[in-house]
Amino acid sequence: MIRILSVIIALSLYSGIALAQAVPVAVERLGDLRMERELRASATVLSANRAIVTSEVTALIEAVLADVGASVKKGATLIRLDNDNASLTLAQARANLDALDAQIEQARWRLTQAEDLLDKNFISDDELVGRRTDVAVLKANRQSQVVAVKMAELTFARTRIRAPFDATVVQRQAQVGNFAQPGTQLLTLVQTDQREVDAEIDPRYATGLDTVTDLRFLSLGQQFPIKLMRLSDVIETDTRKLRARFSFVDAAAPIGSSGEITWKEISGVVPVTLIVQRGSAFGIFAARNGKAAFIEIPGAQEGRPAAVSLSDDTLIVSRGHVRLQDGDDLLITTE
């Protein structure tokens, strides 16, 4: 009986010693401990379009209504060309169309008369066919004349040069009194209602760029939220980078602004505070089956974060790891 009590007491003391030797620690998922890495790339704000406005007709430049530096809205008249010749041509085309309409009306009346006379045998079949042919020919001529009217209207409309989009005039080539011909350069416009950020991205950091939600363009101390529009899949030979275009989410930076885009991504790097040295190796402690497991990080250096190739669900000792040794019993706490 005394021996049994001694064994029980010994087991109790051993159990208490084991519990006392367990090291209290806190653990977290590796995925929650990985560091965010801020990435940057140089960038410039460009206009979506830069257009040289040219004349499409031959006419004298009558007035230039938008000079260098002027902001214009889409559809606004920029240059007025002399339209006297275009107006006369349009009037003549419309008059010819009216004349054809009168001829068609007369030809239809004559055809109706011929059809009535055929029933009474007062006209030959050949005469009836001839009158039907007259109506068909006149209708075909009318279709041709309708095209002539539309072309004349188009020429007349082109004597007013209009802005193709909201823009700023950056260069003026037109001079009042000069004679413009098709292709004559008149004004150079830079589109202002559509601006894009052009950037060169290191291919190593391009993966997942389309899922980033905190993209920003930084310039002159200001930040502008942006989003990815296009990412080239061709690495440029001179820079060895991929070209990307971004659009502004809200306010836009001025065209021509230079700066950089920034974004953050979750990296495979763990903070330096989790890395400890055991012997000559640097690594981190994981919790496995209630025990501490030292995981060496190849290439890790003192005082620097290091990349770890472990599953995000790996439980890492985030507090109490400094005094641990490989194989120590762990008392996981929530405090």
pLDDT digits (tens, 9 = 90+) for 119-176: 666 677 777 778 889 889 999 999 999 999 999 999 999 999 999 999 999 999 999 9
Based on the domain organization, do 74 and 182 belong to the same domain? yes
Q: Is residue 171 within 8 Å of residue 190, measured between CB atoms?
A: no
- DSSP for 236-276 reads -TTT--EEEEEEESSS-PPTT-EEEEEEEEE-SEE-GGG-E
CB 255 within 8 Å of CB 302 = no
Percent of the chain surpassing pLDDT 90: 67
Distance CA 167, CA 309 (A): 52
Residue predicted with more confidence, 113 or 87: 87
Domain identity same for 280 and 311? yes
Which residues sit opposite 283 in a β-bridge? 276, 296
pTM: 0.62
Q: Tell me, what's the pLDDT at 299?
A: 87
Indicate if 203 and 102 belong to the same structural domain: no
Last residue of a domain, one of 211, 246, 266: 266
Q: What is the pLDDT confidence band of residue 52, given thresholds at 50, 70 and 90?
A: very high
Q: Is residue 75 part of a domain?
A: yes
- Rounded to 10 degrees, the C-alpha dihedral 241/244/250/254 comes to 70
Q: Is residue 2 part of a domain?
A: no
Strands ordered across the beta sheet of 50-54: 50-54, 185-191, 167-172, 71-72
In a domain, 7, yes or no: no
Based on the domain organization, do 75 and 127 belong to the same domain?
no
* Least-confidence region, from 13-22, 84-93, 325-334: 13-22
